[in-house]
Amino acid sequence: MLSEVLMPRFSETDVLGHINNTVLPVWFEAARVPIFKIFTPDLNPLDWKLIVAKVEVTFKGELFYGQAVEIKTKIEKIGNSSFVILQQAWQHDECCAEGRTVMVRYDFSKKSAQTLSDNERSALTMYL
């Protein structure tokens, strides 16, 4: 499992003083960088090999400004050309949000999904 701790910024709060619901997908994407590096080690967008097929976030509790948030990331499922990333946002030892993202190995020149290579599958398996 991957773990990253971040400190919410004031600009990420809403009028009620909570972290705005639009922020969680951004935090989750930022925490997926180690997964992205499996496919594109230098993160060069001209050599990108992934697309997002689905993103969902379930809110379970409130998140607040000025208090550390831990983003936990793991692979939940590996398919032939896709995989599911499970992510959670924790604050004060409570899971406050959970997200699932379906990523697809993609060939942009052919505009089609590609089968995950053995090396990619092996690297993803380390985070199951």
Q: Identify the domain containing residue 92 by its residue range.
A: 2-125
Instruction: State the pLDDT at residue 17.
Output: 85
Q: What is the mean pLDDT of each run of 10 residues along the chain (128 residues)?
A: 96 92 97 98 97 98 96 98 98 98 97 98 97
- DSSP per-residue codes, the chain: -EEEEE---GGGB-TTSBBPTTHHHHHHHHHTHHHHHHH-TT--GGG--EEEEEEEEEE-S--BTTS-EEEEEEEEEE-SSEEEEEEEEEETTEEEEEEEEEEEEEETTTTEE-PPPHHHHHHHHTT-
18: CATH: 3.10.129.10
Q: How many domains does the chain contain in total?
A: 1
Instruction: State the pLDDT at residue 27.
Output: 98
